[in-house]
Amino acid sequence: MRGTKGPMRQTGTRLRSARAFAVLGFLAIAATGTALVVQQPWTWCPSDWSDAARVHLGASGGYVVLDGREFQVGGNALLDYMPRIVTSPLDQARAGRHPLGITASISASSRDALGEPAFTCFRVTRGSEVWARRPTTYGTQTRADGYPPGAPSPIPNNAWRLASVNDGPEWPDGDRIELELWATVSGRHYVFALPPFALMRGG
Amino acid sequence: MRRVLALILMFASAAGCSIAPAPQVLHPEYRYVASYPRGPFTPGATVHVVWTPELVRTGSAEPYDVRLCISVFGSFESPGALKESGSRSGGTRPDCPATGSVVSSGVLRTRSDTGNSLSADLVLPRANGFYDVRQIAINGVEPTYSAMSAGGVIEIRGP
């Protein structure tokens, strides 16, 4: 009997160790998953943008010349007052919320002139409060995209990219805010600073 | 042991000093808005244009160079013809001095943090008609800057 107890004990110990590792592994995955869901690192702005050139826009949008190349850049922030159809308690909860949404665009005279710009951060300030998120930059669109197949391309065939982020803070309308748009254009970093404006309802 | 503790304390205090935030320098940022008399405008008259500073914000961003000018485009038979021409020529970047204008002020140079008024005399065109008066501001310097323009319509009519 002694001869069989030894291997059985070893097997039991191995099983316990395996269980412990499995539990630890599960906890590690759960902790990582929770951290990812809560922190959402893919929405973080770049940690260092200090090498960016700062471009002061005279209005919510306008012409900019970036290293000698011409673009138009614009941005806006609105509180989400979009009417919603309420069919469930979840919809009811959402309908009562009016989070800040930010959109921006960059355009140029052609797809080639536009290149592959990307907005990397929208940073909005209200007094001492700052809210910053990495927006989604959508693919390039051109004026010709809306033309029927075979139709001659418009001249100039302007090209643009849009970017947006939603679910911002629920600040009161009428409050004065400042908006910065961080972007990479032709491989270089820029901060487009819009003049302060009053927060309005949109929808 | 005391020596080690003293050394640790010295390093800690030195590190504390080295990461102390530098005092933030705040700069006012102004935009300059042009204004001129409401008229009536007569051919060849001299109009006094004043750019008044408006405080945009005060912040840590570095001040930047500003170029200002006012330019007159035309003439047009009617305000409708002027607007139609504007929509056709839309998409051209404003510049100082403006290209294609019939008369223009010189280029006035200032800084975003100066906050002083500027002025210039603009001699109006001699032909009757409607004109597009555009005030243009260039923020920053070559090769990276922003440009904006705001327009108004005037009628020049001789006696």
Half-sphere exposure of B27 (CA within 13 A, CB side): 12
Domain boundaries, chain A: 2-39, 42-202
pLDDT at A118: 98
Question: Average pLDDT, whole number, for chain A?
Answer: 89
Q: Are strands A118-126 and A69-80 parallel, antiparallel or unpaired?
A: unpaired
Identify the CA nearest to B94 among candidates B145, B156, B131.
B145
User: In terms of pLDDT, which residue wins out, A44 or A86?
Assistant: A44
Average pLDDT on A127-143 reads 96
Confidence of residue A160 (pLDDT cuts 50, 70, 90): very high
Closest Cβ–Cβ partner in B56, B64, B148 for A63: B148
Q: Do A68 and B148 touch (CB under 8 A)?
A: no
Is the Cβ–Cβ distance between B118 and B51 less than 8 Å? yes
Contact A54 B61 (CB under 8 A): yes
Domain spans, chain B = 22-156
CATH code, A42-202: 2.60.40
Of A90-99, A171-180, B125-134, B142-151, the range with the lowest mean pLDDT is A90-99
**Mutate which: A51, A54, A55, A56, vs B, most B CBs within 10 A:** A56
Chain A residues touching residue B144 (CB < 8 angstroms): 53, 55, 64-67, 190
**What's the token pair of residue B56?**
């945009």
The region that residue B13 occupies, defined by phi over 0 for left and psi between -120 and 50 for alpha, beta otherwise, is alpha
Of B79 and A38, the structure prediction assigns the larger pLDDT to B79
For A113-131, the pLDDT digits (tens) are: 999 999 999 999 999 999 9
Domain B22-156 has CATH 3.30.870.10: no
Lowest mean pLDDT among A2-16, A21-35, A112-126, B144-158: A2-16
Which of residues B51 and A36 earns the better pLDDT score?
B51
Using the beta-carbon criterion (under 8 Å), do A58 and B31 form an inter-chain contact?
yes
Q: Note down pLDDT in tens along chain B; length 159 residues.
A: 566 556 555 555 555 455 566 678 999 999 999 999 988 999 999 999 999 999 999 999 999 999 999 999 999 999 999 888 876 655 678 888 888 899 999 999 999 999 999 999 999 999 999 999 999 999 999 999 999 999 889 999 987
Of the candidates B31, B62, B93, the beta carbon closest to that of A70 is on: B93
Cis-peptide, bond into residue B40, ω within 30° of zero: yes
